[in-house]
Amino acid sequence: MTLKYMPPKKKVVVILGPTASGKSDLAIALARKYNGEIISADSRQVYLGMDIGTGKVSKRERRLVPHHLLDVASPKTSYTVHQFQRDARKTIRAIQRRGKLPILCGGTGFWIEAVLSDVALPRVKPDKRLRAKLARLTTAQLYAQLKKLDPARARTIDKHNPARLIRALEIVMTTHKPMPPLTGKTNYDSLILGIQVPTKALEKRIAARLAKHLKQGMIAEVKRLRAQGVSAKRLIDLGLEYRYLMYFLQGKISKKRLTEKLGTAIRRYAKRQMTWFHGMERRDIRIRWITTAREAEKTIIDFI
Protein backbone atom coordinates (compact mmCIF):
# COMPACT_ATOMS: atom_id res chain seq x y z
CA MET A 1 0.00 0.00 0.00
CA THR A 2 1.30 3.44 -0.93
CA LEU A 3 1.40 5.88 1.96
CA LYS A 4 0.32 9.41 1.16
CA TYR A 5 2.95 12.01 2.03
CA MET A 6 1.68 14.52 4.58
CA PRO A 7 3.67 17.77 4.69
CA PRO A 8 4.60 18.98 8.19
CA LYS A 9 2.14 21.35 9.82
CA LYS A 10 3.28 24.96 10.09
CA LYS A 11 3.84 26.34 13.58
CA VAL A 12 1.48 28.98 14.95
CA VAL A 13 1.45 30.52 18.43
CA VAL A 14 -1.87 31.63 19.90
CA ILE A 15 -2.21 33.98 22.87
CA LEU A 16 -5.68 34.17 24.34
CA GLY A 17 -7.28 35.28 27.57
CA PRO A 18 -10.02 37.51 28.96
CA THR A 19 -10.14 41.24 28.35
CA ALA A 20 -7.51 43.28 30.25
CA SER A 21 -5.37 40.20 30.93
CA GLY A 22 -2.30 41.58 29.11
CA LYS A 23 -2.49 39.62 25.84
CA SER A 24 -1.19 42.40 23.59
CA ASP A 25 1.83 43.20 25.78
CA LEU A 26 2.81 39.53 25.94
CA ALA A 27 2.34 39.05 22.19
CA ILE A 28 4.56 42.04 21.41
CA ALA A 29 7.28 40.86 23.82
CA LEU A 30 7.27 37.34 22.34
CA ALA A 31 7.14 38.58 18.74
CA ARG A 32 10.18 40.83 19.30
CA LYS A 33 12.13 38.02 20.92
CA TYR A 34 11.22 35.20 18.55
CA ASN A 35 10.95 36.95 15.16
CA GLY A 36 7.17 36.99 15.06
CA GLU A 37 4.34 38.97 13.55
CA ILE A 38 0.97 39.44 15.25
CA ILE A 39 -2.49 38.75 13.86
CA SER A 40 -5.25 40.38 15.89
CA ALA A 41 -8.14 38.04 16.73
CA ASP A 42 -10.57 40.61 18.08
CA SER A 43 -14.00 40.93 16.47
CA ARG A 44 -14.11 44.72 16.96
CA GLN A 45 -10.49 45.75 16.40
CA VAL A 46 -10.98 45.00 12.70
CA TYR A 47 -12.97 48.25 12.44
CA LEU A 48 -11.48 51.62 11.54
CA GLY A 49 -11.79 54.35 14.16
CA MET A 50 -12.68 52.00 17.00
CA ASP A 51 -9.38 52.38 18.82
CA ILE A 52 -9.81 53.41 22.44
CA GLY A 53 -12.97 51.44 23.16
CA THR A 54 -11.48 48.20 21.83
CA GLY A 55 -8.08 48.68 23.48
CA LYS A 56 -6.28 48.60 20.14
CA VAL A 57 -2.47 48.71 20.25
CA SER A 58 -0.93 52.12 19.58
CA LYS A 59 0.90 53.19 16.42
CA ARG A 60 4.14 53.11 18.39
CA GLU A 61 3.53 49.47 19.36
CA ARG A 62 2.71 48.62 15.74
CA ARG A 63 6.09 50.04 14.73
CA LEU A 64 7.79 47.67 17.18
CA VAL A 65 6.15 44.59 15.64
CA PRO A 66 4.06 44.16 12.47
CA HIS A 67 0.36 43.77 13.31
CA HIS A 68 -2.25 42.39 10.94
CA LEU A 69 -6.07 42.50 10.62
CA LEU A 70 -6.45 45.78 12.45
CA ASP A 71 -8.50 48.53 10.73
CA VAL A 72 -9.53 46.34 7.79
CA ALA A 73 -13.26 47.17 7.70
CA SER A 74 -15.61 50.13 8.03
CA PRO A 75 -17.67 50.11 11.24
CA LYS A 76 -20.70 50.81 9.05
CA THR A 77 -20.43 47.29 7.64
CA SER A 78 -20.25 43.82 9.17
CA TYR A 79 -16.98 41.87 9.04
CA THR A 80 -17.86 38.21 9.54
CA VAL A 81 -16.09 35.23 11.09
CA HIS A 82 -15.96 33.69 7.60
CA GLN A 83 -14.02 36.71 6.33
CA PHE A 84 -11.71 36.54 9.34
CA GLN A 85 -11.07 32.82 8.87
CA ARG A 86 -10.13 33.45 5.23
CA ASP A 87 -8.00 36.54 5.86
CA ALA A 88 -6.22 35.17 8.93
CA ARG A 89 -5.23 31.94 7.16
CA LYS A 90 -3.94 33.96 4.20
CA THR A 91 -1.95 36.19 6.58
CA ILE A 92 -0.50 33.18 8.41
CA ARG A 93 0.77 31.78 5.10
CA ALA A 94 2.35 35.11 4.17
CA ILE A 95 4.12 35.41 7.55
CA GLN A 96 5.42 31.85 7.27
CA ARG A 97 6.75 32.53 3.75
CA ARG A 98 8.77 35.39 5.22
CA GLY A 99 10.33 32.90 7.63
CA LYS A 100 8.63 34.47 10.66
CA LEU A 101 6.45 33.11 13.44
CA PRO A 102 2.70 33.89 13.23
CA ILE A 103 1.24 34.88 16.61
CA LEU A 104 -2.55 34.93 16.73
CA CYS A 105 -3.58 37.13 19.64
CA GLY A 106 -7.02 38.05 20.93
CA GLY A 107 -10.01 37.33 23.08
CA THR A 108 -12.66 36.37 20.51
CA GLY A 109 -12.61 32.63 21.07
CA PHE A 110 -14.94 31.74 18.20
CA TRP A 111 -12.71 33.57 15.71
CA ILE A 112 -9.53 31.95 17.05
CA GLU A 113 -11.11 28.52 16.91
CA ALA A 114 -12.40 29.15 13.38
CA VAL A 115 -8.84 29.82 12.19
CA LEU A 116 -7.32 26.80 13.91
CA SER A 117 -10.08 24.34 12.97
CA ASP A 118 -9.98 22.51 9.65
CA VAL A 119 -13.72 23.21 9.25
CA ALA A 120 -14.66 25.67 6.48
CA LEU A 121 -17.38 28.02 7.68
CA PRO A 122 -20.28 28.80 5.32
CA ARG A 123 -20.00 31.90 3.18
CA VAL A 124 -23.29 33.77 3.54
CA LYS A 125 -23.71 37.29 2.21
CA PRO A 126 -25.68 39.80 4.30
CA ASP A 127 -29.41 39.80 3.54
CA LYS A 128 -30.76 43.29 4.22
CA ARG A 129 -34.41 42.26 4.12
CA LEU A 130 -33.93 39.35 6.49
CA ARG A 131 -31.85 41.47 8.85
CA ALA A 132 -34.49 44.20 8.89
CA LYS A 133 -37.14 41.60 9.72
CA LEU A 134 -35.05 40.06 12.50
CA ALA A 135 -34.15 43.49 13.90
CA ARG A 136 -37.80 43.97 14.86
CA LEU A 137 -37.51 41.10 17.35
CA THR A 138 -36.28 41.47 20.90
CA THR A 139 -32.95 39.95 21.93
CA ALA A 140 -34.81 37.26 23.88
CA GLN A 141 -36.92 36.39 20.83
CA LEU A 142 -33.83 36.20 18.61
CA TYR A 143 -32.15 33.85 21.07
CA ALA A 144 -35.24 31.64 21.37
CA GLN A 145 -35.40 31.34 17.59
CA LEU A 146 -31.72 30.44 17.36
CA LYS A 147 -32.14 27.79 20.08
CA LYS A 148 -34.83 26.20 17.93
CA LEU A 149 -32.93 26.36 14.61
CA ASP A 150 -29.33 25.84 15.75
CA PRO A 151 -29.17 24.75 19.41
CA ALA A 152 -25.43 24.02 19.29
CA ARG A 153 -24.63 27.58 18.16
CA ALA A 154 -27.08 28.96 20.72
CA ARG A 155 -25.12 27.28 23.52
CA THR A 156 -21.93 29.14 22.62
CA ILE A 157 -23.17 32.54 21.41
CA ASP A 158 -23.43 35.75 23.44
CA LYS A 159 -27.21 35.72 23.91
CA HIS A 160 -27.20 39.42 24.86
CA ASN A 161 -25.64 40.56 21.56
CA PRO A 162 -28.38 41.18 18.95
CA ALA A 163 -25.91 41.68 16.08
CA ARG A 164 -24.35 38.23 16.61
CA LEU A 165 -27.75 36.61 17.10
CA ILE A 166 -29.03 38.10 13.85
CA ARG A 167 -25.92 36.96 11.98
CA ALA A 168 -26.23 33.43 13.37
CA LEU A 169 -29.90 33.30 12.35
CA GLU A 170 -29.05 34.72 8.94
CA ILE A 171 -26.61 31.86 8.36
CA VAL A 172 -28.92 29.04 9.45
CA MET A 173 -31.97 30.52 7.69
CA THR A 174 -30.05 31.05 4.44
CA THR A 175 -28.22 27.70 4.32
CA HIS A 176 -31.04 25.74 6.01
CA LYS A 177 -28.30 24.01 7.98
CA PRO A 178 -26.84 24.62 11.46
CA MET A 179 -23.35 26.07 11.70
CA PRO A 180 -20.85 23.22 11.22
CA PRO A 181 -19.31 22.37 14.60
CA LEU A 182 -15.69 23.33 15.12
CA THR A 183 -13.45 20.45 16.08
CA GLY A 184 -10.04 19.97 17.62
CA LYS A 185 -8.68 18.90 14.23
CA THR A 186 -6.36 21.54 12.80
CA ASN A 187 -4.09 22.29 9.88
CA TYR A 188 -1.51 23.90 12.17
CA ASP A 189 1.05 22.80 14.70
CA SER A 190 -0.19 25.27 17.30
CA LEU A 191 0.91 26.30 20.76
CA ILE A 192 -2.02 27.92 22.57
CA LEU A 193 -1.06 30.03 25.56
CA GLY A 194 -3.88 31.14 27.84
CA ILE A 195 -3.30 33.98 30.27
CA GLN A 196 -4.79 33.19 33.65
CA VAL A 197 -5.47 36.07 36.05
CA PRO A 198 -7.14 35.67 39.47
CA THR A 199 -10.69 37.06 39.45
CA LYS A 200 -10.09 39.92 41.90
CA ALA A 201 -6.92 41.01 40.11
CA LEU A 202 -8.67 40.91 36.75
CA GLU A 203 -11.56 43.01 38.07
CA LYS A 204 -9.07 45.65 39.26
CA ARG A 205 -7.40 45.63 35.83
CA ILE A 206 -10.77 46.03 34.11
CA ALA A 207 -11.66 49.01 36.32
CA ALA A 208 -8.26 50.66 35.76
CA ARG A 209 -8.45 50.07 32.03
CA LEU A 210 -11.94 51.53 31.81
CA ALA A 211 -10.88 54.66 33.73
CA LYS A 212 -7.86 55.02 31.43
CA HIS A 213 -9.95 54.70 28.27
CA LEU A 214 -12.46 57.28 29.50
CA LYS A 215 -9.59 59.64 30.25
CA GLN A 216 -8.08 59.00 26.81
CA GLY A 217 -11.24 60.21 25.10
CA MET A 218 -13.50 57.20 24.59
CA ILE A 219 -16.61 59.41 24.62
CA ALA A 220 -15.11 61.69 21.98
CA GLU A 221 -14.29 58.61 19.90
CA VAL A 222 -17.97 57.61 19.79
CA LYS A 223 -19.00 61.18 18.89
CA ARG A 224 -16.45 61.08 16.05
CA LEU A 225 -17.82 57.76 14.76
CA ARG A 226 -21.34 59.23 14.79
CA ALA A 227 -20.10 62.28 12.86
CA GLN A 228 -18.58 59.90 10.30
CA GLY A 229 -21.98 58.40 9.67
CA VAL A 230 -21.96 55.31 11.92
CA SER A 231 -25.54 54.95 13.12
CA ALA A 232 -26.51 54.87 16.78
CA LYS A 233 -28.10 51.46 16.24
CA ARG A 234 -24.89 50.09 14.74
CA LEU A 235 -22.82 51.33 17.69
CA ILE A 236 -25.30 49.81 20.15
CA ASP A 237 -25.13 46.51 18.25
CA LEU A 238 -21.31 46.53 18.49
CA GLY A 239 -21.77 46.09 22.22
CA LEU A 240 -19.94 46.82 25.45
CA GLU A 241 -18.22 50.24 25.43
CA TYR A 242 -19.99 51.46 22.29
CA ARG A 243 -23.42 50.37 23.48
CA TYR A 244 -23.23 52.07 26.86
CA LEU A 245 -21.46 55.16 25.54
CA MET A 246 -24.28 55.54 23.03
CA TYR A 247 -26.84 55.19 25.84
CA PHE A 248 -24.94 57.94 27.70
CA LEU A 249 -24.88 60.25 24.68
CA GLN A 250 -28.62 59.63 24.16
CA GLY A 251 -29.21 60.77 27.75
CA LYS A 252 -30.48 57.36 28.87
CA ILE A 253 -27.86 56.96 31.62
CA SER A 254 -25.72 59.35 33.68
CA LYS A 255 -21.92 59.50 33.67
CA LYS A 256 -21.85 57.68 37.01
CA ARG A 257 -24.23 54.97 35.78
CA LEU A 258 -22.17 54.68 32.59
CA THR A 259 -19.08 53.69 34.56
CA GLU A 260 -21.01 51.32 36.81
CA LYS A 261 -22.99 49.56 34.08
CA LEU A 262 -20.06 49.36 31.68
CA GLY A 263 -17.78 47.95 34.38
CA THR A 264 -20.36 45.26 35.15
CA ALA A 265 -20.83 44.46 31.45
CA ILE A 266 -17.08 44.08 30.85
CA ARG A 267 -16.66 41.80 33.87
CA ARG A 268 -19.49 39.60 32.61
CA TYR A 269 -17.91 39.56 29.15
CA ALA A 270 -14.62 38.37 30.66
CA LYS A 271 -16.49 35.48 32.30
CA ARG A 272 -18.09 34.56 28.96
CA GLN A 273 -14.66 34.58 27.34
CA MET A 274 -13.33 32.14 29.91
CA THR A 275 -16.40 29.93 29.42
CA TRP A 276 -15.60 29.76 25.70
CA PHE A 277 -11.93 28.94 26.33
CA HIS A 278 -12.84 26.11 28.68
CA GLY A 279 -15.24 24.89 26.00
CA MET A 280 -12.30 24.77 23.57
CA GLU A 281 -10.56 22.42 25.96
CA ARG A 282 -13.61 20.16 25.99
CA ARG A 283 -13.35 20.12 22.18
CA ASP A 284 -9.84 18.65 22.51
CA ILE A 285 -8.02 21.93 21.94
CA ARG A 286 -5.19 22.05 24.45
CA ILE A 287 -4.54 25.38 26.15
CA ARG A 288 -1.41 25.82 28.25
CA TRP A 289 -2.39 28.23 30.99
CA ILE A 290 0.30 30.65 32.14
CA THR A 291 0.51 33.41 34.72
CA THR A 292 3.83 35.08 33.82
CA ALA A 293 5.83 36.10 30.75
CA ARG A 294 8.65 33.85 31.92
CA GLU A 295 6.35 30.82 31.76
CA ALA A 296 5.35 31.82 28.24
CA GLU A 297 8.98 32.14 27.11
CA LYS A 298 9.94 28.76 28.53
CA THR A 299 6.99 27.10 26.80
CA ILE A 300 7.60 28.79 23.46
CA ILE A 301 11.30 27.84 23.45
CA ASP A 302 10.36 24.20 23.79
CA PHE A 303 7.78 24.60 21.00
CA ILE A 304 9.89 26.28 18.34
CATH number reported for the structural domain that contains residue 254 in this entry: 3.40.50.300
User: What pLDDT is recorded for position 10?
Assistant: 85
- On the 0-12 / 13-18 / 19+ scale of CB atoms within 10 A, 132 is exposed
User: What pLDDT is recorded for position 24?
Assistant: 97
- On the 0-12 / 13-18 / 19+ scale of CB atoms within 10 A, 261 is middle
Q: Looking at the structure, do residues 163 and 214 belong to the same domain, yes or no?
A: no
pTM score? 0.88
User: What pLDDT is recorded for position 7?
Assistant: 56
Q: Looking at the structure, do residues 161 and 197 belong to the same domain, yes or no?
A: no
Q: Looking at the structure, do residues 206 and 266 belong to the same domain, yes or no?
A: yes
> Which of these three, 132, 152, 179, is where a domain ends?
179
Report whether 58 contacts 81 (CB < 8 A): no
Q: Is the dihedral of CA 178, 180, 184, 189 positive or negative?
A: negative
Q: Looking at the structure, do residues 272 and 286 belong to the same domain, yes or no?
A: yes
- Residue 2 lies inside a defined structural domain of this protein: no
**What are the b/e assignments for 56-95, b being 16+ CB within 10 Å?**
bbeeeeeeebebbbbeebebeebbbbbbbbbbbbebbeeb
- Residue 265 lies inside a defined structural domain of this protein: yes
Q: Looking at the structure, do residues 198 and 268 belong to the same domain, yes or no?
A: yes
- Residue 1 lies inside a defined structural domain of this protein: no
- Residue 4 lies inside a defined structural domain of this protein: no
> Which of these three, 179, 203, 219, is where a domain ends?
179
- Residue 185 lies inside a defined structural domain of this protein: yes
In the predicted model, residues of the chain with pLDDT beneath 50 are 1, 5
User: What pLDDT is recorded for position 275?
Assistant: 93
Q: Looking at the structure, do residues 127 and 147 belong to the same domain, yes or no?
A: yes
> Which of these three, 179, 195, 217, is where a domain ends?
179
Total domain count for the chain? 2
User: What pLDDT is recorded for position 178?
Assistant: 87
Q: Looking at the structure, do residues 247 and 187 belong to the same domain, yes or no?
A: yes
Q: Looking at the structure, do residues 287 and 200 belong to the same domain, yes or no?
A: yes
User: What pLDDT is recorded for position 187?
Assistant: 79
Q: Looking at the structure, do residues 202 and 296 belong to the same domain, yes or no?
A: yes
- Which range of residues forms the domain containing residue 139? 123-179
User: What pLDDT is recorded for position 258?
Assistant: 96
Q: Looking at the structure, do residues 185 and 267 belong to the same domain, yes or no?
A: yes
Query: CA 128 → CA 125, 200, 230, distances in Å?
Result: 9, 43, 17
Q: Looking at the structure, do residues 169 and 251 belong to the same domain, yes or no?
A: no
- Residue 3 lies inside a defined structural domain of this protein: no
User: What pLDDT is recorded for position 291?
Assistant: 95
- Residue 284 lies inside a defined structural domain of this protein: yes
